[in-house]
Amino acid sequence: MQFAVIGAGVIGAGWAARFLLMGFDVKIFDPDPNAQKIIEQTLTNARRSMPGLYDHMLPTEGKYCFCESIAETVTNADWISESSPERLDVKHKIFDEIQQYCSHKAIIASSTSGFKPSELQDLSSNPDQIIVAHPFNPVYLMPLVELVGAIETANRASSVISYLGMYPLVIRKEIDAHIADRLLEAVWREGLWLINDDIATTTEIDNAIRYGFGLRWAQMGMFETYRIAGGEAGMKHFIEQFGPALKWPWTKLMDVPELSQALVSKISDQSDDQSGHYSITDLEHIRDDNLVGMMRALKLNDWGAGNLLNTVDTQLKTMDSNLTTLLTHRNNIQTIHRVVPTTWLDLNGHMNDSHYAEVFSQASEVVLIRLGADQEYVDRGFSYFTVDMKVDFLKECNAGDVINVVTDIIIAEGKKLDLKHEMRDLNDNLIARCSQFLLHVDLELRKSCLPAEPLKSLLLNLEATISN
Q: What is the dihedral of CA 269, 272, 275, 277, to 10 degrees?
A: -150
Residue with the CB atom nearest ligand NAD in the bound state: 9
Contact indicator for 434, 420 with CB cutoff of 8 Å: yes
Q: Which residues, other chains included, contact 78 with Cβ-Cβ below 8 Å and sequence gap of 6+?
A: 1, 2, 3, 103, 105, 106, 107
Stretch that binds ligand NAD, among 80-88, 256-264, 283-291, 363-371 (CB under 6 A): 80-88
Q: Does 146 bind ligand NAD (CB under 6 A)?
A: no
Report the residue number, 31 or 249, with the smaller CB distance to ligand NAD. Answer: 31
CA angle 382, 323, 375 (to 5 degrees): 25
Q: Does 95 bind ligand NAD (CB under 6 A)?
A: no
Q: Where does residue 319 fall: left (phi above 0), alpha (psi -120 to 50 degrees), or beta otherwise?
A: alpha
Q: How far is the CB of 20 from ligand NAD (least distance, A)?
A: 17
Which of 112, 129, 196, 364 is in the footprint of ligand NAD by CB under 6 A? Answer: 112
Strand order in the sheet with 64-66: 64-66, 26-29, 3-6, 79-82, 107-110, 130-134, 144-148, 167-170
Length of the chain: 468
**Phi–psi pair at 446, nearest 5 degrees:** 55, 40
Q: How far is the CB of 181 from ligand NAD (least distance, A)?
A: 8
Contact indicator for 192, 256 with CB cutoff of 8 Å: yes
Report the residue number, 29 or 140, with the smaller CB distance to ligand NAD. Answer: 29
**Of residues 329, 194, 181, 333, the one with CA closest to residue 251:** 194
Q: Does 29 bind ligand NAD (CB under 6 A)?
A: yes
Which of 33, 60, 68, 85 is in the footprint of ligand NAD by CB under 6 A? Answer: 85
Report the residue number, 90 or 430, with the smaller CB distance to ligand NAD. Answer: 90
Which of 42, 83, 158, 196 is in the footprint of ligand NAD by CB under 6 A? Answer: 83
Q: How far is the CB of 178 from ligand NAD (least distance, A)?
A: 10
Contact indicator for 386, 408 with CB cutoff of 8 Å: no
**Of residues 152, 184, 185, 147, the one with CA closest to residue 168:** 147
Q: Does 46 bind ligand NAD (CB under 6 A)?
A: no
| Burial call 14-30: b when 16+ CB within 10 Å, e when fewer | bbbbbbbbbebebbbbb
Which of 2, 49, 81, 111 is in the footprint of ligand NAD by CB under 6 A? Answer: 111
Which of 35, 309, 363, 419 is in the footprint of ligand NAD by CB under 6 A? Answer: 35
Report the residue number, 3 or 384, with the smaller CB distance to ligand NAD. Answer: 3
Which of 2, 3, 4, 9 is in the footprint of ligand NAD by CB under 6 A? Answer: 9
Q: Which residues, other chains included, contact 222 with Cβ-Cβ below 8 Å and sequence gap of 6+?
A: none
Report the residue number, 85 or 244, with the smaller CB distance to ligand NAD. Answer: 85
Which of 94, 132, 161, 431 is in the footprint of ligand NAD by CB under 6 A? Answer: 94
Which of 69, 137, 268, 279 is in the footprint of ligand NAD by CB under 6 A? Answer: 137
Report the residue number, 94 or 308, with the smaller CB distance to ligand NAD. Answer: 94
Q: Which residues bind ligand NAD (CB under 6 A)?
A: 6-12, 29-32, 35, 83-86, 90, 94, 111-113, 134-135, 137
